[in-house]
Amino acid sequence: MLEEKTTDALIIGAGISGSVTVLETTRQAGGVMQTEQHDGYLCETGPNSLLETSPRIAELIALAGLQDEMIAAGPQAKRRYIVKNARLQALPMSPLAFLRTPLFSPAAKLRLMREPFIAPLPAAEDESIASFVRRRLGNEFLDYAIDPFVAGVYAGDPDNLSVACAFPKLKALEANYGSLIRGAIRGRKERAQREDKAKDRARMLSFRRGLGQLNTALAQKLGRNILYEISNLQIARDPIEANWQVSFRQRGESYSLAVQHLVLTIPTNRLLEIFSGELAEACRPLQQIPYAPVVVLTTGFKQEDVQHPLDGFGFLAPKKEKRQILGTLWNSSGRACVAHHVHRRGAPAASRGFE
């Protein structure tokens, strides 16, 4: 039996990106952002925390009714470590710490001080992250600051990532202020006017039962507007009615929807499964977007078996150190440590390519 439904907007994929009517292929909302309990440990299968970089984050948490369930990270979470010569070195977070750190050589520190005097490229001219950082900050800063940061965010190679696409704000600092350092200083005033916060100053948050608690709360708010265990999804554009025609099956029943607005939050390599004809051809170039093959390994240890004080957020391993790991997050007691590995299969981790 084909049952027809009506809705103004439809979202494919129950991540945390929207509301109205949501279709989800699995039995739970949240995508890869899930929390599991194993042997007394709270394990995050996807992101480990969220940053309160905007008042909209607080609004979302209030909408979910989780204000009293929030847990803010302690001040030690602002400390980050970088692997250099098989040792953990704290990433400097202040000008004085930068001058004292053994992470960068004296020559690299002097090179960084030249940054405000380097002429910017034309705003329309794009380049890789690696090229951008070498030009403005030098090789050593690329190897032991930007490379591990890019690996932590994208699990990718800064030589193959467009700075304009991956870090548009970084490119904008050069274009608008002629200098990253000068732009960062002036940008603080502008963020204050917008009530936004820089990521390094924003609160890091989770919930008592993990980030999955946010999924559960938002799904409860949606109620019957979220449909689980969807299969055989097909989408077509109706040129006469100027809307989207969506058909799918749920638990053995067939359904159809006519919607004005359609939001897709699924991987791009699945688009050819749900579109046909001209729409499928339009989506075909998106099949070339590579996804980094990252494996998340969750581990738990007795405190007396760990020699390091674990007095920080965790560490990142630069490519130059030739480690088969991107980094490790150190969580609180009762929350297991999370290590990120690149599953290479004979090839380096990939991200959006730069040409």
Alpha helices for the chain (secondary structure H): 55-64, 95-100, 106-113, 129-136, 139-141, 147-154, 163-166, 168-177, 180-194, 212-222, 271-274, 277-283
What gap in Å lies between CA 304 and CA 323, rounded to an integer?
A: 25
Regarding pTM above 0.75, the answer is yes
Residues 6+ apart with CB under 8 A from 143: 318, 319, 320
Count the Cβ atoms, other than its own, within 10 Å of residue 244: 17
DSSP 78: G
For residue 293, what are its two tokens? 């093959």
Q: What's domain 75-204's superfamily in CATH?
A: protoporphyrinogen ix oxidase, domain 3 (1.10.3110.10)
Q: How many CB atoms lie within 10 A of CB 128?
A: 20
DSSP assignments along 19-41, one per residue? -SEEE-SSSSSSTT--EEEETTE
Residue 143, class by beta-carbon neighbours within 10 Å (0-12 exposed, 13-18 middle, 19+ buried)? buried
Per residue in 66-92, pLDDT (tens digit) is 999 999 998 888 899 999 999 999 999
Domain boundaries, the chain: 2-33+58-70+206-288, 75-204
Q: Which residue has the higher pLDDT, 13 or 310?
A: 310
Does position 352 have pLDDT exceeding 80, yes or no? no
For 184, what's the count of Cα atoms within 13 Å in the CB-facing half-sphere? 10
How far does the chain reach from its first CA to its final CA, in angstroms? Answer: 50
Q: Give the Cα separation of 355 and 350 in Å (integer).
A: 14
pLDDT per residue as tens digits for the range 28-51: 999 889 999 988 889 998 889 999
**Three-class DSSP category at 77:** helix
Given the candidates 3.40.50.11540, 3.40.109.10, 3.40.630.10, 3.50.50.60, the CATH classification of the domain at 2-33+58-70+206-288 is 3.50.50.60
How crowded is the C-beta side of 95, counted as CA atoms within 13 Å? 4
pLDDT digits (tens, 9 = 90+) for 277-317: 899 999 999 999 888 888 888 888 888 888 888 999 999 99
**CA 200 – CA 218 distance, rounded (Å):** 27
User: From the CB of residue 217, how many other CB atoms can be counted at a distance below 10 Å?
Assistant: 17
User: In this prediction, what percent of the chain has a pLDDT beyond 70?
Assistant: 87
pLDDT digits (tens, 9 = 90+) for 313-350: 999 999 999 998 899 999 877 787 777 665 443 333 43
Q: pLDDT tens digits, residue range 90-136?
A: 999 998 999 999 999 999 999 999 999 999 988 778 899 999 999 99
Rounded Cα–Cα distance for residues 304 and 333 (Å)? 13
